[in-house]
Amino acid sequence: MRSSESARNGTVPESPTKADLETAPSASASDELVYRCHPARRSPVRTALVMVFLGVLAIFVHWYTGSPGFAVILTVIMFFSLSAYFFPAWYTLSEKGIKVKTLITTFERTWGLYRSHWPDKNGVLLSPFPYKSRLENFRGLYVRYESNGKDVLAFVKRYVPEPEEHA
């Protein structure tokens, strides 16, 4: 669309910046949605507050136990327990299924595994159950949005059915 617009105007189209390529979803001819999600970068104030909290927690643990080693170990464990927030994840949604690549792992799942989806403001939970279940948080997959919630949700709705009512 941009190239046809520039052809009509007689102008040279702008090339996308590195930031545009990192966060913008891309669709290819094979019906694919590829994007990167990095919650810590999206909200710098919240990230700073979390880092301050981790620092205060380390100071408190050091004061309470008297052990700097224990404080460091606890801080590292807490930091990595929040890895989904601090480190980016790359999502590829295609007609075959979904691929999620994180700092440490990469896994792929087919759409047939999921029988319902539950959207919220930050992402969509893909559930292997056709109705609401307490186990879906453990067996399902949470797909985060990155300023592309409508695109992701539309893509998921094509392949994962709406949830059923359960008595």
Q: What is the pLDDT of residue 124?
A: 94
Q: How confident is the model at residue 163 (pLDDT cuts 50, 70, 90)?
A: confident
Spell out the domain ranges in the chain.
16-38+88-159, 44-83
Distance, in Å, from the CA atom of 87 to the CA atom of 148, rounded to the nearest integer, reads 19
147: left (phi over 0), alpha (psi -120 to 50) or beta: left
Q: How confident is the model at residue 26 (pLDDT cuts 50, 70, 90)?
A: very low
**Region 23-46: what's the mean pLDDT?**
77
CA dihedral 152, 117, 38, 89 (to 10 degrees): -90
| pLDDT tens-place string over residues 75-91 | 999 999 999 899 999 99
| pLDDT tens-place string over residues 127-148 | 999 888 888 888 999 999 998 9
Average pLDDT in the chain:
82
CATH architecture of 16-38+88-159: Roll (2.30)
Q: Give me Rg for the CA atoms of the chain.
A: 21
* Three-state secondary structure call for residue 37: strand
Q: What is the pLDDT of residue 166?
A: 67
